[in-house]
Amino acid sequence: MTFFLILLIVVLLGVTFWQLSNFLAITFGNSDNSQVANNADNQKQGKFMLYFVLFLYALMAFCFIEYYSYFLPAASSEHGVDYDRLMQISVVLIMFVQILTQGFLHFFAYKYKGKKDQKATYYADNNTLEMIWTIIPVITLAGLILYGLYTWTTIMNIDEDDEDALIVELYAYQFGWRARYAGNDNELGKANVRFIEGVNTLGVDKSDNYAMDDIITSELHLPVNKRVIFKMRSQDVLHSAYMPFFRAQMNVVPGMITEFSYIPTQTTEEIRLSDFMVEKVETINNIRRDKSKLLLAKGEEALEPYEFDYYLLCNKICGASHFNMQMKIVVESESDFKNWISEQKTFKQVVSN
């Protein structure tokens, strides 16, 4: 049955396309059947080239205007400011070159479309020209490379001996995250998946004295304006700790400890009140309200209104629930952070229960 249905569709499509080709031959007035472009074709296709670049410009303009709000809000981390600036410079530069080259390409296609008695110019080489368009990219790219490398080194050089930095382990497993704080001694206890047993789900080494005051949580709380150094560990497969609002990402690799570090500069409260976020949340809640109406009509539950929270998501394919491997991040004042952490159980309390 299915087979005949498919056969029928194929036959119908075939007839459609056959009719289409006849129809086109008549409307394009090129039924000479040489199947080589003739003068009429060149005129027409040349014009289409011009229309096409206009379409492309329109599409680019549409995207930048309509999707402007998709760009992430200004970075909530110290190095993120540099990141954003570099990104802006790059995007502007790229779009400038894009508009120019696409313009030339399609405009030339239009301008030099074949005509009956037109002769092409035999023009095979010009060393000066080629020199120019080798040198210009070299200089521009050199600038970008230098700026990029400067920020890269600043971001990636982590000062391990920074006494003031907060040390946090990010622990990834299929399919969730845990944070482990180093506790009062600011020194993480040793850990290995071989120690995993019962409530000790992170495999912390019970015989290590540094481990006893460690604090394991399922939310990531960070004090604002204080450097945090993440030490990342995976239980099973590759994951990636992606914190887009902080311009931060690092893979989490079983068998090794990877690191990333930044200074959060905006509390959750602050970013919620920013113009960008107020507008964003309103848009989203409008969408959710419309969706809820449909859901209610179907007798299902309405969606909850959305309130912004920072989040960390997994960004390396890790299995079936990869799409939902997230952790909430809360950036708060130093005192709020102290209050929160003092309410959490230490590793010692967890294992002795």
Distance CA 48, CA 28 (A): 13
> Closer to other proteins at the Cβ: 110 or 340?
110
Helix (H, G, I), strand (E, B) or coil at 179: strand
**In the complex, what is the shortest distance from the CB of residue 342 to other proteins, in angstroms, rounded to a whole number?**
30
> Closer to other proteins at the Cβ: 41 or 187?
41
> Closer to Cu ion at the Cβ: 224 or 327?
327
Tell me: does residue 57 bind other proteins (CB under 8 A).
Answer: no
User: Site residues for other proteins, window 108-147 (CB under 8 A)?
Assistant: 108-109, 112-115, 118-126, 129-130, 133-134, 137-138, 141, 144-145
Of 270, 273, 238, which Cα lies nearest the Cα of 256? 238
User: Site residues for other proteins, window 274-293 (CB under 8 A)?
Assistant: 280, 283-284, 287-288
DSSP label at 69? G
Tell me: does residue 302 bind other proteins (CB under 8 A).
Answer: no
> Closer to other proteins at the Cβ: 165 or 238?
238
Q: Is 158 exposed, middle or buried (0-12, 13-18, 19+ CB in 10 A)?
A: middle
Tell me: does residue 13 bind other proteins (CB under 8 A).
Answer: yes
Of 226, 267, 227, 230, which Cα lies nearest the Cα of 245? 267
How far is CA 77 from its chain centroid? 17
- DSSP secondary structure string, 217-281? ESSEEEETTS-EEEEEEESSS-EEEEEGGGTEEEEE-TTS-EEEEE-B-S-HHHHHHSHHHHHHH
Residue 288 binding target from other proteins, Cu ion, none, CB below 5 to 8 Å by type: other proteins
Tell me: does residue 200 bind other proteins (CB under 8 A).
Answer: no
> Closer to other proteins at the Cβ: 13 or 199?
13
**In the complex, what is the shortest distance from the CB of residue 229 to other proteins, in angstroms, rounded to a whole number?**
14
> Closer to Cu ion at the Cβ: 238 or 263?
238
Tell me: does residue 71 bind other proteins (CB under 8 A).
Answer: yes
Residue 290 binding target from other proteins, Cu ion, none, CB below 5 to 8 Å by type: none
> At residue 155, what is the residue type?
I
Kindly give, in sequence order, each residue whose CB lies less than 8 Å from that of residue 255, ignoring residues fewer than 6 positions away: none
> Closer to other proteins at the Cβ: 112 or 339?
112
Tell me: does residue 148 bind other proteins (CB under 8 A).
Answer: yes
**In the complex, what is the shortest distance from the CB of residue 2 to other proteins, in angstroms, rounded to a whole number?**
7
Size of site (CB under 8 A) for other proteins = 125
Please pick, from the candidates 240, 261, 267, 346, the single residue that binds other proteins as defined by CB under 8 A.
240
**In the complex, what is the shortest distance from the CB of residue 242 to Cu ion, in angstroms, rounded to a whole number?**
9
**In the complex, what is the shortest distance from the CB of residue 52 to other proteins, in angstroms, rounded to a whole number?**
6
Find the length of the chain.
353
> Closer to other proteins at the Cβ: 60 or 165?
60
Pair type for strands 326-332 and 248-252: unpaired
> Closer to other proteins at the Cβ: 273 or 334?
273
Contacts by 282-288, CB closer than 8 A, 24 or more apart: 283/69
For binding to Cu ion (CB under 5 A), which residues are involved? 239, 314, 318, 322, 325
Count Cβ atoms below 10 Å from residue 182 Cβ, excluding itself.
Answer: 20
Distance CA 281, CA 329 (A): 17
Tell me: does residue 3 bind other proteins (CB under 8 A).
Answer: no
Tell me: does residue 342 bind other proteins (CB under 8 A).
Answer: no
Between helices 39-66 and 78-111, what is the axis angle to 10°?
A: 160
CA dihedral sign of residues 295, 296, 300, 303: positive
Q: Using the structure block, give the residue that is written with the tokens 């180093």.
A: 182
- Assess whether the previous peptide bond of 3 is cis (omega < 30° from 0): no
Tell me: does residue 105 bind other proteins (CB under 8 A).
Answer: yes
Q: Which stretch binds other proteins (CB under 8 A): 161-169, 218-226, 235-243, 335-343?
A: 235-243
User: Site residues for other proteins, window 251-270 (CB under 8 A)?
Assistant: 251, 253-256, 258
